Structure 1
Amino acid sequence: MISQDKSLEFMQIAMKYLPEAKEQLDKAGVELSMDLIQPFMDLFSKVMQEAYELGLAEGRKEM
C-alpha cells in the first residue's frame, strides 16, 4: 500500500496533465466536469499505485 504522500503526488501529476486532457476531450466534443472526472481520477490513482509498486519491486530485484 502506498502512503498518503504518494497518492497526493499522483494527483498532482494528474492535475498537471488535466488541461491537455480537457483540450483533447473538448476537441472530441466531450464535456468535462468535476463530477465526470472523479471516476477517472480514481482510476488514474489505481494505475499509478500499481506502476509505483511494480517499479519498487523491480528496483529491489536489481539491488
Structure 2
Amino acid sequence: MDQEMNMKFMQIAMKYLPEAKEMLDQKGIEIDMENLQSVLNLLMQVMGDAYELGKQEAKQ
C-alpha cells in the first residue's frame, strides 16, 4: 500500500479514535497513548484489508 493511502487511512482512524477512547472510558478501561497507538495501527490494518477487498471486487 502506498504512503498516500496510508495517510488517508491515518486521517480516518484519527477521526474515530476519540469515539473509541470514549467507549473504552465508559467501560472503565483505561488506555494510554502508547496503547491507543496499537489500536490506531489495528484500525489502519482493517481499513487496508477492506480497501484491498473493495479493489479486488471492483476488478470483477
Whether TM-score is above 0.5 comes out as yes
Segments of 5+ residues of structure 2 without an aligned counterpart are: none
Root mean square deviation of aligned Cα: 1.1
**Percent sequence identity over matched residues?**
50
Segments of 5+ residues of structure 1 without an aligned counterpart are: none
Stretches of 4+ moved more than 3 A in 1?
Answer: none
TM-score, with length taken from structure 1: 0.84
Q: Which residue of 2 aligns with 1:58?
A: 57
Kindly provide the amino acid, as one letter, of the partner of residue 52 in structure 1: Y
Q: For this pair of structures, how many residues does the alignment match?
A: 60
In 1, Cα distance between equivalents of 2:18 and 2:39: 14
Q: Which residue of 2 aligns with 1:42?
A: 41
TM-score, with length taken from structure 2: 0.87
Q: Which residue of 2 aligns with 1:14?
A: 13
Select the structure of larger CA radius of gyration. Answer: 1
